[in-house]
Structure 1
Amino acid sequence: MTSLKSTRKLRALVAGFAATTALAPAAGFAQEAVTQTFVHLATGVPAVLYEPAEKGPKSGVAIMLMHSGGDYLSHVGCTELSQRGYSVLCANNSTSKTGRNSDLDIYQAISEVGKGVDYLRGHEGIEKVVLMGHSGGSGLFSAYQNIAENGVAACQTDALLIKCEGDKVAGLDPADGVMWLDPNYGMSVMALFSLDAGVADEATGMISDPALDPYNPDNGYKADGTTTYPPEFVERFQKAVGARSTRIIETLQHRLELIEAGHGLFADDEPFYVPGGMFVGFNNKLFSEDMSLLGRTAKPWPLIHPDGSVETMIVPTDRVARGSHMRTDEYIDGTMKSTVKRYLGAFAIRTTEDFAYGADFITGVDWHSSITTPIGNAEGITVPMLSMGMTAGWEYISAEMIYEHAASEDKSIAFVEGATHVYTPCAPCEETPGEFGDTVKTLFDHVDGWLGAQGRFL
């Protein structure tokens, strides 16, 4: 439990930044009776509409949830928000939900978000629509909102590795607000972070350099959860990741030229796989093992404690090491499987020679080269925005980065102490049982307060 002690020490070190506001614990809410209605938005695009049985002022505000590749028909946000009086549409796009197949067509998925927004706009009693992006949903929804607010020009810039086909995403209806509740850095950035830096031959996962293996004890890995990688290894690993990513992009661009010239393996697209490139889970991410990496915010922000008090401070992580192993030699769980166009559209992003990440920063990433980065998309989004991070998750600093890039004049940020990426209390992170309280309630009480603030949507 050394990492837990280190976290508490970090809290003490940053206490000088803190300004504490004593607040009463969040008031309990009377759970609304909720009805559920199946909705068929399009072929392969199912949804469930959660509505309070008795309509009130909040029910005119509809929240939409969808993930880039996950099954969100029964996400915790569906029940928590509908029980607080809101209408909630929880939908799936048409991608595979196994997590092992990366068949995401980002622009098709964006158009399917539009089906949900259109449905809500036409549903009786709905006056406002707010998108709730969790994890990979933040990349999908931020891309949707950026294009909806700024037109197809937003996905046809020269900075993008591949431009959209305008007819797929033309005429999208912007939502009235957006919420990023433990967003990730974007599907493309998560794929970048997940690359095995040591792959020597892109045709096979059987050859990888042990000197670049993050699970090799010789490189600083400790199976007991106390890993702190030597700075030399971190720098060498990150440089190798950036270099491999650049090589992959160059290969993709060459294949795209051949396809467009009629000399590809197929006329429309062709298969593409990346050994040691699966971005689901903890594969090859240094910060899933070393808590000093991406382990605190760069600036002081509101941290919501279990008792409801809010402390403005540099927010340290509460997460613990995940413990994993190299999966590069596995096709099913270790290899990213996509196509040339789909990988360029959703999973590739440019880096520069200074690509690196440390305790509270990421450098050398071209946020505008991928449409799936909420950090880049936030610069084109102007509607009211709420950005929240869960301190026991390993993506929580993205909430700060999105907030800093957001063009919205009405924008808010907060962090929930001890909450995991799926919003539940992190039991392995606790020093005492129940230390973090009911983090799901803490989160959605805060969301309710933001959504229900007079003059924003009501």
Structure 2
Amino acid sequence: MQREYVRAGGASGYLYRPAAANPKSRTAILIMHYAMDYSELPICSVMAKHGYSVLCVANGSGTLDDKLVDVYAVMRYLRQRDDIDKIILWGHSGGATLLSAYQMIAENGVQVCQGADKIHRCPDYLNGMPKADGVIWADSNWGNATMTVLSLDPAVKQQNNGLNIQPKLNLYSAANGFNSQGNSNYSPDFIRRFQHAVAQRNQTLLNEAQNRLKRIEAGKGAFSDDEPFVVAGAGSVGPNNKMIVQDNRLLSRTRQAWPLVHPDGSETVQIIHSVRQPKAMSGLTARLEMGASDTTVRGWLTDNAIRLQPDFRYDGCGVYGVEWTSTYASTAGNVTQIRVPSLILGMTGNYEFLAAELLYNQSPAGDKQLAFIEGASHMYDTCTACESYAGQYGNTLNTLAAYADKWLQQRKF
């Protein structure tokens, strides 16, 4: 295997390739995250060992719109190479938000994200982007905006103060069901009150951001272009995801039976259960770093805002009451407009695995496939903490790569 440094627009990373060119190496797989540097993500070299050209990059800073420009630059780079015929987008976690937004716009034009229903309308300069030939959503989440909702701390009394919280909504209080030694079995009443308060806070934040944007555009804001928008208890990286991390009964199983891929590559069709372990971590709401969303008014509306219905909730097998298409920072909304061949995969060692079932059901693609990798963590490595005995789940990175390779070969990519 070999790799070469690539820079395109604000994105940079490595193109991994097999040592000798072959028919499969004429297919490029593009892997990038929304915020993290994926230039050395292990799946990059593993897929290259299967014969593909794999471009793994880190993008620049800015909002979703800025990062879509980076994807555009990388896609142009790949399309201009005479040794690449087809391109597959590989979206993982929040990277699927970015790449699904790209593919949706590339397939349909900017009008798909400029409707009156959109909280933020995409700019005209995103028109004319080249589309990919297929997509792989491998442990995508529901979308960055939804992950913000799933991370909002409803106990916060003031939007920009992480120290003033309501005890009755404190997720980390033993009086409310928190268990620092294992799974937190929150009562149905607390879960209901917590989720309702999340929906209320989400609407309050949306209203505030929209009102402040109107003032900015009217020349009455604190600055002429944008304003700081600090939201306590709204950081959306993993440790901030709330309730679903502490109570493993939530988002724990699929509604329908789907293929479960075992370490030897065999499959059984069954209801898929998460094998994840509870993470009884303490809250980060009191902290600015990691705990808060430190953004701007425009940044919040572009990247974090989504509309919820009054009945917003989540239970053991789904998330409900989300207006998925109210923003294009929503993978579950974006896939409704993506029609290229789609492989959708969930990793059972995590809670985000369950987004795969929704993405599959939302997708209009004529060629779509859903499967789950047994015992894989969110980052694709084996969840050894989930095993009942050593080696139970094998090498899940290899299991995932072999399954993706088989899917690609069946479609002559």
Q: Give the counterpart letter for 1:300 in structure 2.
A: A
Q: Which aligned runs of 4 or more in structure 1 are off by greater than 4 angstroms? A: none
Q: Percent identity?
A: 40
2:74 to 92, 116, 120: 116
Deviations 1:281-314 (A, max 9, x none): 2225111111110000111000012232201011
Matches within 5 A, 1:34-433: 34-42=1-9, 44-95=10-61, 104-167=62-125, 169-433=126-390
The SS at the match of 1:78 is helix
The SS at the match of 1:40 is strand
The SS at the match of 2:229 is strand
Deviations 1:124-164 (A, max 9, x none): 21110000000111000000000000001111111111111
Q: Which runs of 5+ in 1 are unaligned?
A: 1-33, 96-103
Contact 1:47 1:89 in 2 (8 A): yes
Deviation of 1:47 (Å): 2.1
Deviation of 1:326 (Å): 1.9
Deviations 1:99-136 (A, max 9, x none): xxxxx410111111011111111112111000000011
Q: How many Å separate the matches in 1 of 2:240 and 2:66?
A: 27
Aligned pairs, number: 413
Q: How many Å separate the matches in 2 of 1:280 and 1:201?
A: 21
* Residue equivalent to 1:18: none
TM-score by length of 1: 0.89
Deviations 1:204-245 (A, max 9, x none): 111011211111111111112122111000000000000000
Q: How many Å separate the matches in 2 of 1:309 and 1:148?
A: 36
Q: Which runs of 5+ in 2 are unaligned?
A: none
Deviation of 1:417 (Å): 0.7
Q: How many Å separate the matches in 1 of 2:67 and 2:299?
A: 11
Deviations 1:244-289 (A, max 9, x none): 0000000000011011111111111111110011101222511111
Contact 1:213 1:326 in 2 (8 A): no
Deviations 1:400-421 (A, max 9, x none): 1001000110001100111100
Q: How many Å separate the matches in 1 of 2:265 and 2:129?
A: 39
Q: How many Å separate the matches in 2 of 1:112 and 1:457?
A: 28
Deviation of 1:430 (Å): 1.1
* Residue equivalent to 1:17: none
Q: How many Å separate the matches in 2 of 1:308 and 1:223?
A: 37
Deviations 1:168-211 (A, max 9, x none): x1111110000000001111000010011111111311101121
Q: How many Å separate the matches in 2 of 1:244 and 1:284?
A: 16
Contact 2:43 2:397 in 1 (8 A): no
* Residue equivalent to 1:9: none
The SS at the match of 2:295 is strand
Q: How many Å separate the matches in 2 of 1:337 and 1:226?
A: 30
Q: How many Å separate the matches in 1 of 2:90 and 2:43?
A: 9
Q: How many Å separate the matches in 2 of 1:398 and 1:221?
A: 25
Q: Superposition RMSD on alpha carbons, in Å?
A: 1.0
Q: Give the counterpart letter for 2:87 in structure 1.
A: V
Q: How many Å separate the matches in 2 of 1:428 and 1:77?
A: 21
Contact 2:265 2:403 in 1 (8 A): no
Q: How many Å separate the matches in 2 of 1:345 and 1:284?
A: 20
Contact 2:36 2:58 in 1 (8 A): yes
Cα distance change of structure 1 residues 75 and 253 upon mapping to structure 2, 3 Å threshold? same
Q: Give the counterpart letter for 2:408 in structure 1.
A: L
Q: How many Å separate the matches in 1 of 2:373 and 2:157?
A: 41
Deviations 1:334-370 (A, max 9, x none): 1111111111111111101100000112111000111
* Residue equivalent to 1:20: none
Contact 1:283 1:324 in 2 (8 A): no
Deviation of 1:67 (Å): 0.4
Q: How many Å separate the matches in 2 of 1:223 and 1:205?
A: 21
